[in-house]
Chains A and B, each alone.
Chain A
Amino acid sequence: MKKIEATFIVNGNPYEIYVDSHALLIEVLRDELGCKLNGVHESCGSGDCGACTVLVDGEPILSCMTLAVSVRGKAITTIEGLAKGTELHPLQEAFVSNGAIQCGYCTPGMILSAKGLLDQNPNPSELEVKKALAGNLCRCTGYKKIIDAVLRVSKGGN
């Protein structure tokens, strides 16, 4: 199979690589860019759990269900792109201070889905937060603290 020359713009940085036509975005982000973006997690691999969520042009999508070649040239954001140096993003701060993290496996996807929502709608209702996070499964927290953390950021002015 032929390799395709592609530029991926991830967290503001361009990466020019050759990618297999059948490579999934999650594989490229974790293994092919040379910077090991291991915050992108695979769990179900079938589009049900949301652990692999990243932002493409600001919208949450599932990186394990996306052909990498189909998003070349688009702005991709992973969890590694949120903090500025040692300063956490307000959503990351809120998840930590609110106890919205337990094992942490779902957290990158949760935070990116929440960022996708807040960037579009800075003051969502609780129902809107629930709807935006409906595609992200958490087996630890029971969701309440996660929803509270997102609402706290929205009210605190992100």
Chain B
Amino acid sequence: MLYRKLYSFDYEEARDVPEAISLLQTHGTEAAVMAGGIGLIEEMKRRAVTPKVVVSLQPIDQLKFLDVSDGNLRIGALSKLSHGEQSNVVKEGFPALWEAIAQISSAQVRNMGTIVGNITACNPGSDVATALVALDASVKIADGNGGKCIPIKSFGVHSRKNILKPGEIVTEIIVPCLAPGAQTAFLNLARTKEDCAKVVVAVNARVTEGVIEDIKIALGAVAPTIVRATTVETMLLGEKPSEGLIQAASERASQENMVTPISDIRSTSQYRSQMVSVLTRRALTRVFQNHMN
């Protein structure tokens, strides 16, 4: 039978993070790192990447965790999307993230793909990355030299391009637990639930004594990376939630400088812009619903 085969490459398994870094540094740009594998294999099948060596992280037990400690949710690099979907800690403590994870693609893909892999792919329409930007998550990177931790909104530099250099891997994502009283919302728009989104909106807001004290609005699929609607956030901070305010804020959302949607097979630029406003209005209505008269 004729299969869509892979070309030949060498395969190495790392037993711990230092060994993974060492293997990746030895092979430099000729190496690709594999966690769940589905994204890498898809890219190798269409020859978008052609590594000579695939370094698998799968045997590294230290990267298999998904738990809350010291006020943060910690997502290990080998946590599958299905682990997030099945986690009550995620479902109850981080509902916007859970909604983003649980509706991605198919059961098979969620059983294979990792949460970290979804982030490192830097798909500008990533549901999970959009939720994580609204939740102000950080990405922990191992580089064989002490490592570093960076905000997730700085991790993607362009569509399908992240800041990782050869020899670096993401070991975990750190998500701060929601502040008391914080409300979140996740909304996306896609042709079918399994398809990539046309527009994604995630909001994380806190109202104290009737006034918006904190708000983060993340927009996906409308720019080369996930973006924050910062002028809308500034407009909302310190205000009292009202229908009029939500209407004005959501209209402003599509006018953000960073919102530069493209036209492609899924949507036109104009439609995406309009839907940024619609989804932002719905998301803001959801997070402020208990604070409006």
Interface residues, chain A, with chain B CB atoms under 8 Å away = 1-2, 4, 20-24, 26-27, 30-31, 42, 45-47, 50, 53, 59-62, 64-67, 69-70, 113, 116-117, 131-132, 134-136
Contacts and interface: CB of A to CB of B under 8 A. Distances in A.
26 contacts: A21-B8, A21-B9, A21-B11, A22-B5, A24-B6, A27-B5, A46-B4, A46-B45, A47-B38, A47-B42, A47-B109, A53-B108, A62-B38, A65-B37, A66-B41, A67-B11, A67-B54, A69-B11, A70-B37, A70-B56, A70-B58, A113-B108, A116-B107, A134-B106, A134-B107, A134-B193
A62 B3 CA distance: 14
Interface in B1-29: 1, 3-11
B4 A42 contact: yes
A50 B5 contact: no
A26 B4 CA distance: 10
A132 B37 contact: no
Given A21-B54, A22-B7, 12 more contacts: A2-B10, A21-B9, A22-B5, A22-B11, A24-B5, A30-B1, A53-B108, A59-B82, A62-B112, A65-B37, A117-B107, A135-B108
Closest 8 pairs between A and B when the two form their complex, measured CB to CB? A135-B106, A45-B4, A21-B11, A1-B8, A22-B6, A59-B111, A135-B108, A22-B8
Contacts of A30: 1
Interface of B: 1, 3-11, 34, 37-38, 41-42, 45-46, 54, 56, 58, 82, 105-109, 111-112, 193-194
B107 A113 contact: yes
Residue among B11, B42, B105, B108 with most chain A CB within 10 A: B108
Contact of A50 (B3, B10, B34, B106): B106
Contacts of A132: 107
A25 to B, nearest CB: 10
Contacts of A61: 108, 111-112
Contacts, number: 95
Nearest to A62: B108
A84 B108 CA distance: 26
Residue among A53, A62, A67, A136 with most chain B CB within 10 A: A67
Contacts of A69: 11
A20 B5 CA distance: 12
Contacts of A53: 108
Contact of B105 (A2, A23, A45, A135): A135
Nearest to A21: B11
Contact of A26 (B3, B111, B194): B3
A70 B46 CA distance: 20
Contacts of B38: 47, 62, 65-66
A4 B107 CA distance: 30
Contacts of A21: 8-11, 54
